[in-house]
Amino acid sequence: MFFPITTKQPDKARFATEIPSIEKRRAGLDADLRLWIILDEFNSDVIGRSFYLEPEPPLGRFSKAFFLPLLREFVARRKSLIEISRFR
């Protein structure tokens, strides 16, 4: 699953959160920009068969302390969210 990250502040009704500076640095994102991760819409794909993923090492990652609570909330809401399948 892939969640979009945006510089545009989402509406308060969206399931989204602003990414803290330390998490932006951990993930290899621009720490000077305000960034939000959107969790109420996502893309799904199969790693290894993806036409969209390059076989390169990731730039970084979010900490478990930041991402796991979001993931738990995502799982609780998943049936009401919008999924776009990229698998072919």
pTM: 0.79
Count of other CB atoms within 10 angstroms of residue 39: 21
Containing 59, the helix (H) or strand (E) segment is none
pLDDT in tens, 31-79: 999 999 999 887 777 777 777 667 677 788 999 999 999 999 988 887 7
CA distances from 33 to 11, 26, 65, 72, 75 (A): 18, 14, 21, 26, 28
Which residues lie across from 84 on neighbouring strands? Answer: 43
Is a pLDDT exceeding 60 seen at residue 86?
A: no
For the four alpha carbons of 80, 41, 86 and 26, in that order, the dihedral sign comes to negative
